[in-house]
Amino acid sequence: MDLYLRIGSPYPVFVARYCHRTILFSLVLAILMSPVKAEQQPVTTISAADIGRLAKDRAPASMVFLDASLQDIQQRVRLTNSYQSGNLDANKHPYPLSTSIVFYDFSFGGKGVTEAARVWTDAGYKFIYILRGGCAGAAEAKVPVDTREAPTDVLPYSVTAQSLMDALKQKEELVIVDFRSDIEFSADHISGAINLKPSELLSKIAASDKTKWIVLYDSFGNSLDPLIWQLRRAGYLQAGSLAGGY
């Protein structure tokens, strides 16, 4: 640049100034046009017992139940008058933005229902709720449920380690039962687990909320299906065993 200035050529100076102004203008324009990310509306988790109160508090606004389960499950077990969320485009606003939308599913992990709720929150809906316990919680609270097959036959028996980790991170209310020996349990165990013998299972958890997740595990995860079956027959529909065991 100094060389060009010394020989008296005005063009390099012009080009430099033009480039400088263009870059500055582009940066300002990019900042002004970049989308401002609004603070994400928190999603409230409610129990089935809260539905009546919610309907009363939100009147005259309508309430809609959206099922975020896999479609084959939704076709077998669902809340009465609910709709499959996957068949609706939240961004097209199929319901007024003042509508109370209650999401639920029939899976153990609940990841799908959380993602569905976020999609509708991002689309502008402000009254988004997740039903704790899904269909099992609703059935426990006597909410009308259409059942084409027994609910005990719908939920998978196994729970992935990732689902359990997610639940622990989110501080979900759950019961974890370790069926290994006392020595193995004393050496190490999953945080919050209780050590029981199979014969003690039903008596020891009798006071537990039936909508809570119950995760059973042993060393290898190969022999707990009969216990899961017992729990579900007793009304603990959210029971499952840890895939692969400890």
Q: At residue 217, what are phi and psi to the nearest 5 degrees? A: -150, 155
Place 67 in a pLDDT band, splitting at 50, 70 and 90: confident
Average pLDDT score over residue span 72-98: 76
The two three-digit tokens of residue 87, written as one number: 């068949």
Q: How far apart are CA 201 and CA 245, in angstroms?
A: 17
Which amino acid is present at 165? M
The predicted-structure confidence for 166-180, as pLDDT tens digits, reads as follows 878 877 778 999 999
**Alpha helices (H) along 78-123:** 111-122
**Token pair in block for residue 28:** 């300002």
Question: Given this model, what pLDDT does residue 23 score?
Answer: 61
* Side chain identity at residue 148, one-letter code: R
Name the pLDDT band for 30 (thresholds 50, 70, 90): low
**pTM, two decimal places:** 0.49
Q: Which of 10-24, 44-58, 149-163 has the lowest mean pLDDT?
A: 10-24
In this predicted structure, what is the pLDDT of residue 105? 79
Structure tokens at 43: 């999603």
Higher per-residue confidence, 152 vs 169: 169
Q: Determine contact, residues 130/104, Cβ cutoff 8 Å.
A: yes
**Which comes out higher in pLDDT, residue 142 or 99?**
99
pLDDT at site 25: 58
**Mean pLDDT, to the nearest integer, of 11-39?**
53
How many other C-beta atoms can be found within 10 angstroms of the C-beta atom of residue 159? 26
Q: Is the pLDDT of residue 38 over 50?
A: no
